Chains A and B, each alone.
Chain A
C-alpha cells in the first residue's frame, strides 16, 4: 500500500537545541504537507511544498522538499517548549486521490 515513512518516531531535546524530522516516499510525491498536533489537540496545517527542491521558512521552522520530490524535512532551530507536539508529514503519491500521512514524530522539549 501507499506509505510515507517518517523518522524518527520520537525525539527528546533540551530547550535551545535543534530538531529535524524526515519523510521519505518510495514514489514521487505531487506535494508534501506538514502538520503539527499538540498533546490532546488536533492536527494543524503548517505548510505545503509543491516544487522540486523547494525551501520555505516560518520563523524558526525550515521546510524542504527534495529534488526528486521523494523526501522532505522539517527543521526547527533553537527549540522552545511551545514546539512540543507531534509533527506529521502528508503527501500525495503519483496520481492518487489520497493524502497519505507519515506516522509522525513526537517532539518533547526539556526546559
Chain B
C-alpha cells in the first residue's frame, strides 16, 4: 500500500546503456516530479508533470526523457548513460500545485550507479 512506489530500488549498469525507472502513485495526485540527489545530497528538480502534461523541464540533457502514460505514472528513461548520471533519483507527487498545499510525497528512491 506504498503511496509513491518506484522501481527498481538499485540499478547498476555500464556507461552507454539505456535504462528506465518507473514510478507510480496511488494517492490520486495530479502532479508528479523527478528529482535527482547527488552524492552531496543536493536535491534538484528535473521534471514535473501535471495530469500527463509537462510543466517543468529543467536544464536536463535530452538523454533524459520522462513519460507519463496517465496521471498516476511517471517514468524516466535515460539514454547513453554517463558516469555523471550516478545518483539517487526520487519520484514525488503532490496533491496540488501552488503555494498553499504543495506537499511533496517522495518515493523511496532509485540508486543508479553507472560503471
What 1/0 mask marks residues of chain A from 70 to 109 whose CB sits below 8 Å from any chain B CB? 0000000000000000101010100001111101101000
- How many residue pairs bridge A and B at CB < 8 Å? 54
What's the Cα separation between A74 and B106 when bound, in Å? 21
User: Interface residues, chain B, CB within 8 Å of chain A?
Assistant: 40-45, 48, 55-56, 90, 97, 99-100, 102-109
Question: In this complex, what residue of A is CB-closest to B102?
Answer: A99
A43 contacts partner chain B, Cβ-Cβ < 8 Å: yes
Residues of A within 8 A of B (CB-CB), count: 24
Q: In angstroms, how far is the closest chain B Cβ from the Cβ of A102? A: 9
Give the CA-CA distance A45 to B41 in the complex, in Å.
16
Cβ A103 vs Cβ B42 within 8 A: yes
Chain B residues near A33: list those with CB within 8 A: 102-104
Cα separation A97 to B100 with both chains bound (whole Å) = 13
Tell me whether A41 and B99 are in contact in the complex, defined as CB-CB below 8 angstroms, given that A97-B56, A98-B45, A98-B56 are known contacts: no
A59 at the interface (CB under 8 A from B): no
Q: Known contacts A41-B108, A42-B90, A42-B108: does B103 contact A99 (CB below 8 Å)?
A: no
> Is A99 in contact with B45, judged by CB distance below 8 angstroms?
yes
